[in-house]
Chain A
Amino acid sequence: MCNDGGHGMITLTINGKQHQVDAPDDTPLLWVLREWIGMTGTKFGCGVAQCGACSVHVDGEVQRSCQIHVGDVGSAKITTIEGLSPDGSHPVQRAWLEHDVPQCGYCQSGQIMAAAALLAQKPRPSDADIDEAMTNICRCGTYNRVRAAIHTAADLAGKV
């Protein structure tokens, strides 16, 4: 029945839930998320780790899911945009709302995941930290609002 050519079921831990997928080991995590599991918040932009639209957290670190083979994920905990918070209340999401950051919005899942990972590492990032960490491409040009929102998110997180 199944002609996926899989190497047996792979168990993934995504947003705290276990998922069984029947995909070949070398399938990019991005496409497993989008097509095998049906979680489409993580976006395809380039497929070559340039744009960052596919950014997810792997054990808390931001990574480009188009470059991760699903067979290499093992027991690592994956967090996607859908699992960043149960209700859009993560400080980054609240700050994004406050600054009305998104334009088309397509890159914003990746921008938000990159920003959340940065803040987890550096609760008070400098502009230089932001420059270094935020390498995601935005064609609409929301960069200045992304920067302002990261500073606001740091404030919001500090108040909790």
Chain B
Amino acid sequence: MTASIGLGRRFFLASTAAGAFSLGWKIPAAQAATGAEVGIWAEIHADDTVIVRIARSEMGQGTLTGLAQLVADELDADWSKVRAEYVAPEVNNARKRVWGDMSTGGSRGIRASVDYVRAGGAAARAMLIQAAAQKWNVAAAECSASDSVVTHSLSGRRLRYGELAEAAAKLPVPEKPVLKTPAQWKIIGKGVKRLDTAEKLTGAQKYAIDVILPGMLNAAIAQSPVFGGKLVSFDAAKVAGMPGVRHVLAVDDNAVAVVADKWWQAKTALEALPVTWDEAGNGKLSSAEIARHLAGGLDAAEAGLGQKQGDLAAGLKAAAKTVTATYGTPFLAHATMEPMNCTAQFADGKVEIWVASQNGDASLAAAAEAGGVKLGDVKVNKLHLGGGFGRRGQQDYTRQAVLIAKQVPGRPIKLIWSREEDMQHDFFRPITQAKMTAGLDKDGNVTALHARLSGQSIVAYLSPSRLVNGVDPVAFQGWAADEFGYMAIPNLLIDHAMRNTNVPVGFWRGVNANQNTIYMECFIDELAHAAGRDPLAFRQALMAKNPKHLAVLNAVAEKAGWGKPLPAGVFRGIAQNYAYGSYVAAVAEVSVSAKGAVQVHRIVAATDPGYVVNPQQVAAQIEGSFAYGLSALFYGENTVENGRMVEGNFDSYQILRMAEMPKVESVIVPSGGFWGGVGEPTIAVAPPAVLNAIFAATGKRVRQMPLKNQGFFPA
């Protein structure tokens, strides 16, 4: 049976006596001992070590540990002996894609894999039991498994998985293994420690940027600063004599790279390289112009339909009072801590890459296309990501690394983007605005609601074939009829006037749900205020048709002590949402100084993801969602001037730090029966909960993000 099909290798990087990691990817003999593949998801070694194969990517969200828990529980494995290993994309292809989809985004890691990885664990368990039954010449039904041991109940005989694996591996894989009921779970639902922590505490964890290979050269790249601009020329002779410089190369039609012995030398030479760009007529674009472009969509006659029910016009006509407000959110860079990078080698018509990717399949395809080779001639080494947040689903950096390597055949080339390249050549969270209009009757009930979005479409930019009759369904995230929490509003219209720009846009952790939830939850708060009602009670009254939304809202309100007295000067705000299959809600407690210093004293955040795989990792995702969401709320903004992004590094694109991070209390209320995501939904409620608390504290509605432009800053 085969083993080490993936990248268990990353754990075994050889080290020289001098401390340099330079020997490449050899597996030391002691580690190369192979186990038996029992089914496809588990490889079991003689010492009972269980290696669970992972097709998705680990970028911090804990999916590697969660997926291993799912397999190990159904396998009845001894958790202390479980390890995880990536499946390599080319091996997945060669095995007819038995490990399924590798793309890791949309909080899908667990929820889209859960059925088949659990089945894989259960199948392996059945095979081990069958193998034991055959050895003992007894019926399988008389045997049971627990903690990596099969026991024959009548005789008390026991065999360890490590003793059974070889025989089990030769048995047919059951097609429809019986899965455990939730009551039988032992590892699913437990807050076990992550499998990937120890290496991250000593510097031993190898990220893609840490790859060092024999003969490797390093590349620094400059892309056209103007979006849509082209490379015209560069004067390589001016830098050819600089230390370490080997090559100066065009990359595609819009970038130039310097290849040197060291990356620092490449970057230094690149900064000295005279380059001429053609702005291709795009050099005048500005944030002001984009804002006007979007404003035109707010009242445009034509818009794509998200959902409607009832009769909006009649509902508004019947209202005693109409409330209108316009909101907006800017472009945002992902700013992963590890800048984009990829190492590529082109040799003998084959391509090998070392990459941090949210989609191993897409990396393979990009490398094949850039290298001009067949899919089968690409080898992909997947490494842990130093952050992803949606950025590493796109493979522009992989493509560039291969294009460079193809011009320097036979040598591995490590391409690293500077932080400035990373921040200014992102696939940004799209810029959008929303005009919200609602009617209230004389008793303060909502008679009608219209949410008109205007702004850029991710789908139109990245995958126009997924537009539906010209409409981007992702733009309405959280607002579809089966997602929206206020379906009791009788007359409803949600639509989108698409207003695109030439700024690249993409999936930014939480995607459109972030922006839509700011618009909706702040506006609902405005309506509650206009109706003279408590924001919690006002929402509860609108959720008659949405009991699961309501349950999470109530859970957060109870834990936060909504309605109970607070210290002087402290005020609450509330928000709720459904996205990525999970129901979430949050309460923020905030005080605001006369100068605008916002102190977030406490966050209570509830989530109902259906089933929970690992509660302490769910809590980590909730905490992290507030760090990411509040960074965006307070600071996040990428502005366009002269056709290019202005902000280039963390001095101008500030990130929330320790002193500004609020206390976060997680309330996990799994209602069972479904599997929701946890990496993203909570980000959507972080900003509106705080914004609504700021209104409660100051009477000021902030409708244009970020807060730094509106006189507010973290205390």
Contact = CB atoms under 8 A, between A and B. Distances in A.
A102 B201 contact: yes
Residues of A in contact with B, size category: 35 or more
B624 A142 contact: yes
Contacts of B664: 144
A34 B209 CA distance: 10
A141 interface: yes
B64 to A, nearest CB: 11
Interface string B9-30: 0000000101111100000000
Contacts of B18: 19, 37-38
A107 B20 contact: no
Contacts of B196: 102, 105
B361 interface: no
Contacts of B184: none
Contacts, number: 198
B211 to A, nearest CB: 9
Contact of A46 (B194, B386, B620, B650): B650
B658 interface: yes
A147 B207 CA distance: 25
A140 B207 contact: no
A4 to B, nearest CB: 5
Nearest to B206: A40
B416 A24 contact: no
B659 A132 contact: yes
A51 interface: yes
Contacts of B59: 104
Contacts of A4: 243-244, 261, 265
Contacts of A112: 201
Nearest to A39: B19
Contacts of B204: 41, 82
A100 B262 contact: no
Interface stretch (B159-167, B274-282, B331-339, B561-569): B331-339
Interface stretch (B33-41, B577-585, B625-633): B625-633
Interface string A1-23: 00111100000000001010000
A73 B129 CA distance: 63
A55 to B, nearest CB: 12
A96 to B, nearest CB: 5
Given A4-B244, A132-B659, A135-B657, A141 B625 contact: yes
Interface string B577-609: 000000000000000000000000000000000
Given A144-B661, A145-B620, A37 B20 contact: yes
Given A46-B649, A102-B201, A3 B337 contact: no
Interface string A85-104: 10010000100110011111
Given A41-B203, A142-B620, A146-B658, A35 B193 contact: no
B624 A40 contact: no
B598 to A, nearest CB: 16
Contacts of A36: 262
Contacts of A131: 658-659
Given A35-B264, A82-B203, A139-B628, A44 B209 contact: yes
A92 to B, nearest CB: 8
B663 interface: yes
Contacts of B200: 102, 105, 108
Contact of A97 (B19, B197, B205, B209): B197
Residues of B in contact with A, size category: 35 or more
A71 interface: no
A27 B620 CA distance: 38
Contacts of B193: 97, 100
A80 B659 contact: no
Contact of A105 (B19, B384, B388): B384
A134 B658 contact: yes
Interface string A34-66: 111111111111111011010000000000000
A140 to B, nearest CB: 4
B623 A37 contact: no
Interface in A109-145: 109, 112, 130-132, 134-145
B629 to A, nearest CB: 9
A117 to B, nearest CB: 15
A142 B622 CA distance: 10
B203 A109 contact: yes
Contacts of A104: 59-60, 336-338, 384-388
B625 A137 contact: no
B650 A51 contact: yes
A80 B203 contact: yes
A78 interface: no
Interface string B418-444: 110000000000000000000000000
Interface in B235-273: 242-244, 261-265
Nearest to A48: B649
Contacts of B87: none
B198 interface: yes
A140 B419 contact: no
Contacts of B197: 96-97, 100-102, 105
Given A102-B196, A131-B658, 7 more contacts: A40-B210, A43-B338, A102-B194, A108-B201, A140-B627, A143-B627, A144-B623
23 contacts: A35-B218, A38-B19, A38-B21, A43-B207, A43-B337, A46-B419, A82-B202, A84-B202, A103-B60, A104-B60, A104-B384, A104-B386, A104-B387, A106-B386, A112-B201, A135-B657, A137-B337, A138-B627, A139-B335, A139-B628, A140-B627, A143-B623, A143-B658
